[in-house]
Amino acid sequence: MNPTIPTLTKAPPTADQGAAPAAAEDGYEAVTGLDKETVALKRTYEAEVEAKVASDYSHIVWAYGILWSLFCGFAIVLLVRGSRQQRDLQALRRELERRGEQAVDGP
Amino acid sequence: MSALLRSFGRPGVLLFAALVTFPYALQRVFLHTPIESEMGTAQKIFYFHLPMAWGLMLFAMISGVAAALQLLRRSERAEDVAKAAGEVCALLGIGALMSGAIWGDATWGTPWTGDARLVTTALLELVFIAYLIVAKFGGPMAGRLAAALAVFGALDVPIIYYSVKIWKTTHPKAQVVQSLPPEMWASLWPCLFAILACSFALFELRLRQERVERRLDEAWLALSAGDAAPAEHTALSGRSA
Amino acid sequence: MSASIIPCELRSVVKSFGRTAVLRGVSLALDAGQITGLSGINGAGKTTLFRILAGLEDADSGELVFGASGEVGLREGVREQVAFVTHAPQLYPLLSARENLQLFADLRSARGCETMPAREALMTVGLEAVSDQAVRTFSRGMAQRVVLARAIAARPSLLLLDEPFTALDTEGQELVLRVLLEAKERGASVLLSSHDLARLREVSDRVVRLHAGRLESPREPTGHEGAEGVKARLPESSATTRG
Amino acid sequence: MTPSLDDLRVDARSGVGPPSVLQNGSVTTLRQTWILARNDLRQELRELELLITSVFFTVVILALYAVSFAEMSKSAQPKAVPGMLWIALAFVGALTLTRVFEREREADTFGALLAAPVNRVAMYGAKFSVTLAVLCVCAAVLVPGLLLVFPSSGVEGWSALEMLATVLLGCAGFAAVGTLFAAGLAHGGGKNVLLSVVLYPLTTPVLMMSLVATQRVLQAHPGAWDILAKIAAVDVILLIVGGALFESVLVGGAARGSGGGDSSTGAGGARAPRTGEVGPDMLGDDVR
């Protein structure tokens, strides 16, 4: 709604508007092409589109990046928790072994 | 391959499925879906944003129902489910809100509007962040308090949505998401699948950890019971051998 | 009117907080007309056991069975017949002794339970003179008496006394003993805890010890167990206080 | 040795059976609710502590509003003032809830009530009513105060009756959720800070609806009653859920129904005993 990209405020003129009055007077056909104004307008258009696409792409990259890094972050949290549990389990095993030896030795 | 998958279990399979679907979804989204005329390329964010928001609702419901079962039936299984779902819910909520803000910045030029869907999502996310906070710092009754919170959170989903909508009527703004053309829907499904598969995989991994934690607690408890009754020492260690 | 909740039985009650086990399978039968003494060091889980019996906390596993019909769990009908006296007086400090008692009497009468009038109950504990004073002006011992009066007023079938001698003077302790005996004669079951093992043995029909989350019989047998002994020795002998 | 059970029944439960109407659960619950609420009010009348602190807090907030927003334009007032009202009520509500249960926690009288034959729903209802009453008193200060400070916030001819209904219904929704969590935190020895953490996200919807209702009432909007009816519906849902969860949150598994025993749901009843051998292998394939 309030885009940061500069916008065209007036409609682009059509090509024949600039070309028509110059035609056929001295036997020369005017080169049908784009007058400077149109070219400038076209360039502005292109720049605008480019800026919009670039901005969109950067937004997309950010959005996708954040989404998947969130998932990865959560996965890392899970891994950390899992390894903590593994350590806990090792401690439990050691404790059981210790007790097993004690029981063999007699209380 | 199948042996590998089996060793990973269901979460592994789900993660693998998500991993396979993701590139397919991406190429569909970027190569086979027309660029939305009004919002431009940035609308591609939508294909992963919407599944996250839906996932948020889904896991909020799962967590709420499980929490209700936990409270009314005293089910430990339900408690684990509620907890795991609550965490995934908070995760998806952050994802949905952040991607939404980025999308909004690209298309509307502002990361936040008072749109009903945004406020609904944000409120629900707050509820589940509160859930995590209470579960962590709630003291001896943390589990039950957090469960009640999840129940109210799930119950609040329609109420929140409705209240935000009527609140909106006093500050009217344009509709944000128009009805989608069918080709966009077609691209949405693989994205939805990828996100949900990934979420469910994480959910299940979390759930397993919750169960392991419980078993470890029980094992330590039983072990300390062995301290009290020397006669049981041998029995305990005998089993472990 | 519901049937008596006695005998009451705990069946392998387990309670733990995190990785700290408090009760590791406690089974205990409380019979009619019996005073059961519960001993144990600090932190042995006596208070937790009381709280579970009074319905303030639920067990992780195990059952509470009440009455001949074997009702499981502490429903309101069961709570009607339970009185719980804790070592901390649970009274509204702003209200007078009578109002405190009246509140519970009203709550009971809303359910149609008989309750001794507040005045009468306060007379029993010797507080009728101060019955209209706010409880916050009371000493610990006086407050403890009010709690006792509340317990008496309910005419409970199951009387739970967690460290009732705390903060009581000699007279107050005798009062507790009178209450115990009265309940026993009425056919109620009493569970009583105290640090004072000698006194516990003196008043109880049997003493059980809570140690490391399990119930044990006391190590050395005592000479004066059994109802006869208690009757013979009370209340005069209770004047010899310890600690 | 011991008297027979029949003797006991007579001894321990002397007296005649209660009138049949008293055995009706809901009548009992209502009566107990009233007794408990009356008890709270009686204490309150002794010292007025709750009322004085809450009303004073309200006045302070009002003064802060007056200072902060003194320059507010007339056109902004109708939108801003309802927001001020409900934000203030939300703050006062949290304060009141904390205090209401703090009083029960101080001497652990909450424990005495839980051990007594009191229906938990009655306890919930009583605390809910007391909180609601205090909030209404605060609203009675807030609403005229705000209208005095921001005279352009409403149009001529808004209805005081509608305003009363709005405040009542909005505060009821807030208190319905708040009572459950404040009780849980008080009984479990939880930290009071958590009350705000829990309360505000959960009660925002109801507060938002009340805010819209207040705007409509102040603007003499014809749709005011419509939204008030919807708030009432939400209140009923919140109250039912709050009451239903009260026992489960406070003491654990609720004993449902009467008689018999479903041992898997009884309070103090049982979950399946934890069996399982101690040893690493018991963790099975859950360990990754």
Whether A96 sits inside 8 A of D283 (CB atoms) is: no
Which C residues in the span 42-71 are in contact with B, Cβ-Cβ below 8 Å?
58
- The pLDDT of residue C3 is 66
| Chains in contact with chain A (at least 3 beta-carbon pairs closer than 8 A) | B, D
b (16+ CB within 10 A) / e for D69-91: eeebeeeebbebbbebbbebbbb
Cα R_g (chain C), whole angstroms: 17
Whether B95 sits inside 8 A of A60 (CB atoms) is: no
Nearest CA to C200 among C182, C173, C169?
C173
Which residue carries 């011992």 as its tokens? C141
Whether D6 is in a domain gets the answer no
Q: Which residues of chain C does B220 touch, with a Cβ-Cβ cutoff of 8 Å?
A: 19
Strands C34-39 and C206-211: parallel
Whether B23 is in a domain gets the answer yes
Integer Cα distance of B53 and B39 in angstroms: 19
Integer Cα distance of D250 and C56 in angstroms: 8
Q: Please, which pLDDT band fits residue D287 given cuts at 50, 70 and 90?
A: very low
Q: Is C12's Cβ below 8 Å from some Cβ in D?
A: yes
- The pLDDT of residue B235 is 34
Non-local (6+) Cβ contacts of B90 within 8 A are B125, B128, B129, B131, B132
Least confident of B23-27, B74-78, B96-100, C229-233: C229-233
C153, D14 contact by CB (below 8 A): no
Whether D246 is in a domain gets the answer yes
Q: Which residue of B has its CA nearest to A90?
A: B216
Q: Look up residue C138 and give its two tokens.
A: 């009371």
Q: Look up residue C94 and give its two tokens.
A: 């702003």
Whether D1 is in a domain gets the answer no
Integer Cα distance of D122 and D179 in angstroms: 12
- The pLDDT of residue C239 is 37
- The pLDDT of residue A104 is 65
Which residue carries 């006062």 as its tokens? D92
Other CB atoms within 10 A of residue A20 CB = 11
User: Taking CB atoms and an 8 Å cut-off, how many pairs form between chains C and D?
Assistant: 188
The helix/strand/coil state of A32 is coil
Whether D121 is in a domain gets the answer yes
Which B residues in the span 101-140 are in contact with D, Cβ-Cβ below 8 Å?
123, 126-127, 129-130, 133-134, 137-140
pLDDT at C55 over 70: yes
Whether C21 sits inside 8 A of B225 (CB atoms) is: yes
Whether B211 sits inside 8 A of D286 (CB atoms) is: yes
pLDDT at A72 over 50: yes
Domain that holds residue D241: 23-254
Q: Report which secondary-structure segment, H or E, holds C215.
A: strand C214-216
DSSP state of B36: B
Whether B212 sits inside 8 A of D286 (CB atoms) is: yes
Question: Across the interface, which of B9, B159, B170 has its CB nearest the CB of D205?
Answer: B159
DSSP state of A7: -
Q: Which residue of D has its CA nearest to A99?
A: D279
- The pLDDT of residue D24 is 63
Chains D and C touch (3+ CB pairs under 8 A): yes
Q: Which residue of C has its CA nearest to D34?
A: C107
Q: Please, which pLDDT band fits residue C169 given cuts at 50, 70 and 90?
A: confident
Q: How far is CA B32 from CA B50, B56, B103, D67, in A?
A: 19, 27, 20, 59
- The pLDDT of residue B141 is 82
How are strands ordered across the β-sheet holding C8-17?
C20-30, C8-17, C61-66, C71-72
**Arithmetic mean of pLDDT, C109-126:** 87
pLDDT at A14 over 80: no
pLDDT at D172 over 80: yes
Whether B152 is in a domain gets the answer yes
Task: Name the phi and psi angles at B115, rounded to 5.
Answer: -60, 145
Integer Cα distance of C182 and C168 in angstroms: 19
Whether D130 is in a domain gets the answer yes
- The beta strand positions in C134-198, using DSSP E, are 158-162, 189-193
| pLDDT tens digits, one per residue of B35-70 | 776 667 777 788 888 889 889 999 999 999 999 999
Do residues C76 and C95 share a domain? no
Task: Name the phi and psi angles at C211, rounded to 5.
Answer: -135, 125
| pLDDT tens digits, one per residue of B160-199 | 777 777 776 544 444 445 566 777 778 888 889 999 999 9
Q: Which residue of C has its CA nearest to B227?
A: C212
Whether A96 sits inside 8 A of D288 (CB atoms) is: no
Helix ranges (H only) for C27-164 are 46-53, 76-79, 97-110, 118-124, 140-153
Q: Please, which pLDDT band fits residue B4 given cuts at 50, 70 and 90?
A: low
CA torsion, points C176, C180, C185, C191, in degrees to nearest 10? 170
- The pLDDT of residue C236 is 39
| pLDDT tens digits, one per residue of B128-157 | 999 999 988 877 788 889 999 999 999 888
The helix/strand/coil state of C161 is strand
**Arithmetic mean of pLDDT, C13-29:** 85
Q: Please, which pLDDT band fits residue C219 given cuts at 50, 70 and 90?
A: low
- The pLDDT of residue B8 is 67
Least confident of B82-96, D133-147, D268-282: D268-282
Q: Is C108's Cβ below 8 Å from some Cβ in D?
A: yes
Domain that holds residue C116: 89-155
Q: How many domains does chain B have?
A: 1
Residue D234 CB-density burial (10 A; 0-12 exposed, 13-18 middle, 19+ buried): buried
Q: Is D280's Cβ below 8 Å from some Cβ in A?
A: yes
Non-local (6+) Cβ contacts of D187 within 8 A are B141, D105, D110, D111, D114, D250
D215, B167 contact by CB (below 8 A): no
CA torsion, points A28, A33, A37, A40, in degrees to nearest 10? -150
User: Taking CB atoms and an 8 Å cut-off, how many pairs form between chains B and D?
Assistant: 155
C120, D51 contact by CB (below 8 A): no
pLDDT at B97 over 60: yes
* CATH code of the domain covering residue C77: 3.40.50.300
Question: Across the interface, which of C3, C111, C187 has its CB nearest the CB of D117?
Answer: C111
Nearest CA to A74 among B205, B60, B121?
B205
Q: How far is CA C131 from the centre of its chain?
A: 23
Whether C179 is in a domain gets the answer no
**Arithmetic mean of pLDDT, D117-145:** 93
- The pLDDT of residue D264 is 35
Integer Cα distance of D28 and D23 in angstroms: 7
Q: Look up residue D36 and give its two tokens.
A: 């408990």
Integer Cα distance of B23 and B144 in angstroms: 42
Non-local (6+) Cβ contacts of B155 within 8 A are B64, D237, D238, D241
Summary mean pLDDT of chain D = 79
pLDDT at D138 over 90: yes
The more confident residue out of D288 and D79 is D79
Q: Look up residue B37 and give its two tokens.
A: 């005329």
| pLDDT tens digits, one per residue of C135-158 | 999 988 889 889 989 988 888 888
- The pLDDT of residue C26 is 87
Question: Across the interface, which of A59, A75, A100 has its CB nearest the CB of B105?
Answer: A59
Whether B145 sits inside 8 A of D188 (CB atoms) is: yes
Whether B208 is in a domain gets the answer no
Q: Which residues of chain A does D288 touch, with a Cβ-Cβ cutoff of 8 Å?
A: 82
- The pLDDT of residue B3 is 61
pLDDT at D10 over 60: no
Q: Is D278's Cβ below 8 Å from some Cβ in C?
A: no
Which residue carries 């092409």 as its tokens? A33
Q: How far is CA B65 from the centre of its chain?
A: 14
Whether C174 is in a domain gets the answer no
Q: How close, in Å, is residue B128 to chain A by CA atoms?
A: 15
Whether B140 sits inside 8 A of C19 (CB atoms) is: no
The string of DSSP letters for B114-151 reads: --HHHHHHHHHHHHHHHHHHHHHHSGGGHHHHHHHHHH
Helix and strand numbers, DSSP H then E, in chain C? 8, 10
Work out the percent of chain C whose per-residue pLDDT is above 90.
8
Q: Look up residue A50 and give its two tokens.
A: 């480019």
- The pLDDT of residue B59 is 94
Work out the percent of chain B whose per-residue pLDDT is above 70.
82
C45, C214 contact by CB (below 8 A): no
Q: How close, in Å, is residue D100 to chain C by CA atoms?
A: 13
Question: Across the interface, which of B140, B220, B228 has its CB nearest the CB of C17?
Answer: B140
Cα first-last separation, chain B: 33
Whether A103 sits inside 8 A of B240 (CB atoms) is: no
Whether A63 sits inside 8 A of B205 (CB atoms) is: no
Whether D261 is in a domain gets the answer no
Whether B234 is in a domain gets the answer no
Q: Please, which pLDDT band fits residue D254 given cuts at 50, 70 and 90?
A: very low
The more confident residue out of B237 and B209 is B209
Whether B220 is in a domain gets the answer no
Cα first-last separation, chain A: 80
Q: Which residues of chain D does A89 touch, with a Cβ-Cβ cutoff of 8 Å?
A: 280, 283, 287
Q: How far is CA B46 from CA B38, B101, B102, B107, B182, in A?
A: 13, 11, 10, 11, 15
**Arithmetic mean of pLDDT, A52-62:** 84
Whether A85 sits inside 8 A of D279 (CB atoms) is: no
Whether B215 sits inside 8 A of D180 (CB atoms) is: no
Question: Across the interface, which of C58, C60, C79 has its CB nearest the CB of D116?
Answer: C79
Integer Cα distance of C202 and C182 in angstroms: 16
Question: Across the interface, which of D115, D262, D270 has its CB nearest the CB of C82?
Answer: D115
Q: Which of B71, B73, B214, B221 should we substitute to test contact with C (largest number of C Cβ atoms within 10 Å)?
A: B221
Q: How close, in Å, is residue C87 to chain D by CA atoms?
A: 11
Q: How close, in Å, is residue A20 to chain B by CA atoms?
A: 34
Integer Cα distance of C38 and C16 in angstroms: 19
Question: Across the interface, which of B202, B216, B237 has its CB nearest the CB of A99?
Answer: B237
Q: Beta partners for C65?
A: C9, C72
Q: Which residues of chain B does D181 touch, with a Cβ-Cβ cutoff of 8 Å?
A: 145, 148-149
Q: How close, in Å, is residue D277 to chain C by CA atoms?
A: 15
Whether D236 is in a domain gets the answer yes
C64, C74 contact by CB (below 8 A): yes
The more confident residue out of A106 and D50 is D50
Q: How far is CA B165 from CA B103, B117, C43, D211, in A?
A: 21, 8, 55, 13
Whether C177 is in a domain gets the answer no
Work out the percent of chain D whose per-residue pLDDT is above 90.
46
Q: Which residues of chain B does D184 touch, with a Cβ-Cβ cutoff of 8 Å?
A: 141, 144-145, 148
Q: Which residues of chain D does B167 touch, with a Cβ-Cβ cutoff of 8 Å?
A: 208-209, 211-212
Whether A59 sits inside 8 A of B241 (CB atoms) is: no
Q: Is D21's Cβ below 8 Å from some Cβ in C?
A: no
Domain that holds residue B143: 2-173+180-200
Whether B236 is in a domain gets the answer no
The helix/strand/coil state of C114 is coil
Q: Which residues of chain B does C16 touch, with a Cβ-Cβ cutoff of 8 Å?
A: 221
Q: How many domains does chain D have?
A: 1
Largest CA distance in chain B: 78
